Every structure is written in structure tokens, then in C-alpha cells.
Amino acid sequence: MLLQDKRIAIFNVANKRSIAWSIAKSMDDQGAQLILGYQNERTKGAVEDLAKELAHAPIAVLPCDVSLPDQIEQVQESIREKVGTIHGLVHSLAFAPRESLQNAYLFTEREHFLTALEISTYSLVALARALTPVLSDKASITTLTYYGAEKVMPGYNVMGVAKAALEASVRYLAHDLGPAGVRVNAISAGPINTVAARGVSGFLDILEVHEQRAPLKRTVEGREVGDTAVFLASDLSSGITGEVLYVDTGYNIMGF
């Protein structure tokens, strides 16, 4: 029970394929008490239903649309009211308008660029700042990134740029929050067939090539990402901050 007595907030679950849900299940298995976030009324019911499958009933299921600053503040107030403090925050959310993931990056529109960076990158900074007052000593913050931050994945486009900024944010936040004992890390997950991933043109080709080239000759499972998130939230990783950990069946080590 690596997360016994730890309260961890996970933003956002959309459905059973969400990486956030895989993380919730792994953390639940390790005894964590969870707060689950959902984006809007469209996903609320699904998340409440999924929450019933957990061994430990969640502390709360909260709305969190990161484009609404008031709602981020409300999350902080809800946590303060219900439990006082939390020991971990998982940021597993991203968005880019579909058009920006279909055409060449050269044609990314200003509005689409700003939306992708606001929702996928700035939201980590906003959530970390809003929740700092309710983070316990030695709390852990984990976000989700992808290899398209470093190398060109045709079709990933502005999301690659957003992930590059996210990974840099992890390092700057690790520096800012380190003196308070708070750690900030990212998991670079291999491709997983989720709603967000299917928005990337050519995603099925990415999955196929990944299987052929990765040293383990398969794609990664949500559970494997979830188990790594457990490690990063647990005291076993107490010396690790500002890092990007690959959970990608080894794909990133290959040159060809």
C-alpha cells in the first residue's frame, strides 16, 4: 500500500479509456483517497459512475474546466473544506482545436495556438499555484507529456509545442516549489488510444509504428502509466523532481 493515508487529486477523467482513470485505478489499488475531476456536465455522469468501481469511495468528484479561473479557485476551496490538505496532484488534461491537428503546423491559427497552450500548458501552472495553499509538505505534482514535445510527430503539431512548454514548466515549477518540499515531474507516455489521442491525424499509424519500433514490440498500457504515477506520488520517489520519465516501452531510445 504505497499510497496509504495519501489524498490525491486527479484532473481530469473523461471516460474509462482516460489515462487519468488508469492512474486513479492504480492509486486506488495502493490505498490512496482520491478527488476526481471532470471537465463539464457532459462527462460528469460517466466519472461519477466510474468512481463507484473504486475500492475506496472518492473524497469528492469535482468540476474543473481549466479555462474558467473561478472553477480552479473553487477546487482549492472544496479541498480546503472537505479535507484541508492533499498530498498529490495529477494533471492529465490537454486540448487543441481539431483543425490544428489536421493541417501542417505552418498553418496554425493564432486562436488555436493560444487555446492549446492555455488548456494544455498554462493549466498546470494555474492549478499548481491555486492548490499550493492546500498541498501538504512533500506533496507531489505529476503531469502527462508526449515524445512529440522533442521530436516531430507529423499531425501532433501545436500539441508538440504545448508539451515542450509543459516540460519546461515542470522544471521551472520544480525550482519554485522545491524549497517547500513539493516535487514536480512529468510522465512521457507512449501512444494510447483515448479520445484526445484520436484527435491527432494519423494516430493509428503512430500506434502501429510504435509497436514495430519500440524495444518491447508493443504499445504501453494505461495501467503501466498509472503504476508509474503511483511511484511518483509515493515516498519511493522522494529524491526525484523536475524530471520527465518515459513510460513508452522504450520507443524514445531508438534512432531508427
Ligand X SMILES: NC(=O)c1ccc[n+]([C@@H]2O[C@H](COP(=O)([O-])OP(=O)(O)OC[C@H]3O[C@@H](n4cnc5c(N)ncnc54)[C@H](O)[C@@H]3O)[C@@H](O)[C@H]2O)c1
34: contact with ligand X by CB under 6 A: no
User: Can you tell me which of 51, 89, 170, 192 binds ligand X, judged by CB under 6 A?
Assistant: 192
Which window, 82-90, 105-113, 189-197, 234-242, contacts ligand X (CB under 6 A)?
189-197
- CA dist 20 and 9 (Å) reads 10
Catalytic residues: 146, 156
Least Cα distance to 216 among 247, 242, 188, 237 occurs for 247
Spatial separation of the C-alpha atoms in residues 8 and 138, rounded to whole Å = 13
Residue 247 within binding range of ligand X, rule CB under 6 A:
no
Listed residue (243, 244, 191, 188) closest to 213, CA to CA: 191
Torsion of CA 167, 169, 174, 176, to 10 degrees: 170
Element (DSSP H or E) covering residue 36 = strand 33-38
Query: Least separation, in Å, of the C-beta of 35 and ligand X?
Result: 14
Which of 114, 152, 180, 195 is in the footprint of ligand X by CB under 6 A? 195
> Is 100 a binder of ligand X (CB under 6 A)?
no
Please count the CA atoms within 13 angstroms of the CA of 239 that sit on its side-chain side.
0
Q: Which is nearer to ligand X, 13 or 173 (CB)?
A: 13
What dihedral do alpha carbons 5, 71, 232, 116 form, nearest 10°?
170
Q: Shortest gap between Cβ of 74 and ligand X (angstroms)? A: 13
Residues from 40 through 69 that contact ligand X (CB under 6 A): 43, 64-67
Residues 6+ apart with CB under 8 A from 196: 94, 95
197 binds ligand X (CB under 6 A): yes
Only one of the segments 79-87, 127-135, 171-179, 192-200 lies at the binding site for ligand X (rule: CB under 6 A); that segment is 192-200
Which residue in 8, 19, 128, 232 binds ligand X (CB under 6 A)?
19
Binding stretches for ligand X (CB under 6 A): 12-14, 17-20, 39, 43, 64-67, 92-95, 119, 144-146, 189, 191-192, 194-197
